[in-house]
Structure 1
Amino acid sequence: MLQIKNLMKEKYVPEDRMELLVGLIYKRLKDYAFDLISDGKAVDVSFDKQFALFSKYFLYAKSNFNPLNRMRSSHAILQVNPKEQVFIRQLTDIDCISESKFMDLMHVLLNFQQYIEQGLIEGAIIPEEVDELDKNAELIWGAIFQNAYDEIERRRRLAQSVDEKEIDAIARKIYHQIQGQHISQESFPLDNRLSFGEFLKLSDQPKIGWHIDWEMRYAK
């Protein structure tokens, strides 16, 4: 154990985070070895394998990251009236959901936030992986959004009239299409409900939206 800690010092891991790092590495190694032995396979201890298994934990331990400060916490979500939540406002403004659906969507977002928070606290997820998940989700949304509003954008460039009801209808279609999208990271798999929670989180920040003018309306 002393040799391991000395190695960590060489990697500039702060003293007060060494126990955390040791615990994370031990747990990951135990799970990795158990899975291989259960399948009758040899345990690979090559440098490449060690790097793949443990490098993210060294990055996490070296950072001064406080996972509870990273995003709007699950506790904070519950303290706000649903009607005042940005992601709810985005949907009610396009007449996409009724008030009876507010709590269902709140629970989807809450479950996602708690899943990510717990992973960050335990070190199973590192901040860079959350950033990567956000980028992937934004790319998926961006392609759908751009394709859906291509004709509306063309008509606007030509100074042709655009009916607001038509825009709202397109916005609702984008939202429903996003509901069926599945995103995931290798290190922390997301099912369809958690994937939807990621998109709700982004629409609450807001980094994505449904109405063509969502940035002007909500990103202030």
Structure 2
Amino acid sequence: MPASKTQQATSASDTSIGFDYQFYQFFLLLLDLRHGEEIGLEEKDDVHVDLADGTQLLIQTKHTVQINATGQAINLTERDKDLWKTLSNWTKVISDQSDAKAFLKLTTFQLSTNKQAVTNPFVLNIIRLQNGDIKIKDFKDYLKELAKNTEDATIKDYIDRFRGMASELLTLFAKKIAFQLNHDDLISAIKMRLLEKIHIKERVDDVYRNLHSELRDTNYLNVKADIKNVISFERFNQKFGKCFQVAISTKLPIRDLPYILPDHPEQQLFIRQFLDIGDMSATEKDVIIAYTTQMLQLLNNLKEWESNGDFLESDRKKFNKETSLIQQTAFKATFRRIKAKIEGGQNLDDLDDEIKTSAVSLLDEMRRQILQFDETQLSLELSHGHFYLLTEESEIGWHMDWKNRY
């Protein structure tokens, strides 16, 4: 059922993405913290950064979902309500200070928005004032005309409040205002910053997911417990340092990867061997598919590791050798007694039932094995899959006479 006009009008999507935009700005700046610095979310401002030299950066974040004819975010206009509401809020903050001059000398005010950096007379006049190209009187005259020609009463009040500051304070304030326009796609920016830190492109997404999850949970729990969302550089390393371990650990990332089943899975060599020893019957299609899935999951993870440079060809050979040795050692012990019977003169065919029963027992024993390579412990599914893959590649077998039979 489509949303009604009332529901559409009261949709929280604009507000929601605004909070998300604020969070991702916090996330991005968090990665730039240095010793002696700390960052806060919705404490002194939407986001704030306290620098080691005693100065601070107050950031207002404004995100729009409105787009222009070219599909880009709308422009930050001269009478933009977000712009003037932000300036009005900062004006109030300054007026609340016991020593406004000292506060302004230590504070930078930044508006971060995804709105476009298109020619804006107000922004241009701020820059001209900062560069000394105009005097404060010229700037105030410009503001007077801007307010005079503004029809929106709320925006007019914002402009008048800003213009009404004492000239000395307004000069100091205007010179500490910065604009971060067309500031969008923060997730890509965060991942780029992570790449600059860990230098392993293939591990960026893993570190990002770890950090994102931990930060979201921490922010939520802090708000719930009425704890300030402020993180110092030292606290960040202490609480979130483990999120980066995936980038430096030799533990391989195990993922649930897509796979395509073969058209005739029952014709696979390892399935034929299992059918031969009586581990299952040809009618158990679900079992055949389950075993095939386990093998393909292991195979696809191996390919993923190799593609990402996490797993060398020499590693693959070492891993295969170790798993094969586990199976071959158990194989030798399983068939030792039957081998002695054959050497004593009994016919191999006469012992076939005993051989198959022993082969199934061997297979069951291997299915209890949890395989490990260096720091990476495989799941039971992938451990099974490696035995099946080595069977498919004719590295190991299960019937005592498998080398002749296949």
Q: Which TM-score band (shorter chain)? A: 0.5 to 0.7
Does 1:211 pair with 2:406?
A: no
State the alpha-carbon separation in 2 of the partners of residues 96 and 199 from structure 1.
14
Residue aligning to 1:26: 199
Q: 2:370 touches 2:377 (CA, 8 Å); kept in 1?
A: no
C-alpha distance 155-39 of structure 1, shift in aligned 2 (>3 A): farther
Match of 1:116 among 297, 302, 306: 302
Displacement of 1:187: 5.0
**Which amino acid is 1:94 matched to?**
I
Residue aligning to 1:93: 276
**Which amino acid is 1:27 matched to?**
I
Residue aligning to 1:68: none
Match of 2:331 among 141, 145, 150: 145
C-alpha distance 40-103 of structure 1, shift in aligned 2 (>3 A): closer
State the alpha-carbon separation in 1 of the partners of residues 299 and 370 from structure 2.
17
State the alpha-carbon separation in 1 of the partners of residues 339 and 271 from structure 2.
25
Where relative contact order (Cα < 8 A, 6+ residues apart) is larger, the structure is 1
Displacement of 1:40: 9.5
State the alpha-carbon separation in 1 of the partners of residues 394 and 269 from structure 2.
7
Residue aligning to 2:264: 81
Does 1:131 pair with 2:317?
A: yes
State the alpha-carbon separation in 1 of the partners of residues 263 and 324 from structure 2.
25
Residue aligning to 2:356: 168
Displacement of 1:38: 4.2
1:195-210 alignment to 2 at 5 Å? 195-210=383-398
State the alpha-carbon separation in 2 of the partners of residues 111 and 173 from structure 1.
24
1:151-162 alignment to 2 at 5 Å? 151-161=337-347, 162=350
1:56-67 alignment to 2 at 5 Å? none
Partner-residue secondary structure (3-state), 1:163: helix
Q: 1:125 touches 1:188 (CA, 8 Å); kept in 2?
A: no
State the alpha-carbon separation in 2 of the partners of residues 78 and 103 from structure 1.
8
Partner-residue secondary structure (3-state), 1:109: helix
Displacement of 1:185: 1.0
Q: Deviations over 1:49-68 (max 9, x none)?
A: xxx989xxxxxxxxxxxxxx
Structure 2 length as normaliser, TM-score? 0.36
C-alpha distance 38-97 of structure 1, shift in aligned 2 (>3 A): farther
State the alpha-carbon separation in 1 of the partners of residues 375 and 335 from structure 2.
34
Residue aligning to 2:255: none
Residue aligning to 2:366: 178
C-alpha distance 80-205 of structure 1, shift in aligned 2 (>3 A): farther
State the alpha-carbon separation in 1 of the partners of residues 378 and 279 from structure 2.
25
State the alpha-carbon separation in 1 of the partners of residues 263 and 355 from structure 2.
29
Give ranges in structure 1 of 5+ residues lacking alignment.
Answer: 1-21, 42-51, 55-73
State the alpha-carbon separation in 2 of the partners of residues 88 and 143 from structure 1.
22
State the alpha-carbon separation in 2 of the partners of residues 179 and 198 from structure 1.
10
**Which amino acid is 2:276 matched to?**
D
Displacement of 1:85: 0.1
Displacement of 1:193: 1.3
**Which amino acid is 2:200 matched to?**
K
Higher helix share: 1
**Which amino acid is 2:346 matched to?**
Q
Displacement of 1:188: 3.9
State the alpha-carbon separation in 1 of the partners of residues 327 and 272 from structure 2.
18
Displacement of 1:160: 2.1
Q: Deviations over 1:125-168 (max 9, x none)?
A: 11111111101001100111000000111111111244211111
State the alpha-carbon separation in 1 of the partners of residues 342 and 239 from structure 2.
60
Percent identity between the aligned chains? 24
Residue aligning to 1:71: none
Higher strand share: 2
Match of 1:189 among 377, 397, 405: 377
**Which amino acid is 2:265 matched to?**
P
State the alpha-carbon separation in 1 of the partners of residues 240 and 296 from structure 2.
40
Q: 2:261 touches 2:293 (CA, 8 Å); kept in 1?
A: no
**Which amino acid is 1:201 matched to?**
L
Give ranges in structure 2 of 5+ residues lacking alignment.
Answer: 1-194, 212-236, 242-247, 251-257
Residue aligning to 2:96: none
Structure 1 length as normaliser, TM-score? 0.65
State the alpha-carbon separation in 2 of the partners of residues 80 and 140 from structure 1.
31
| Bigger Rg, which one | 2
**Which amino acid is 1:136 matched to?**
E
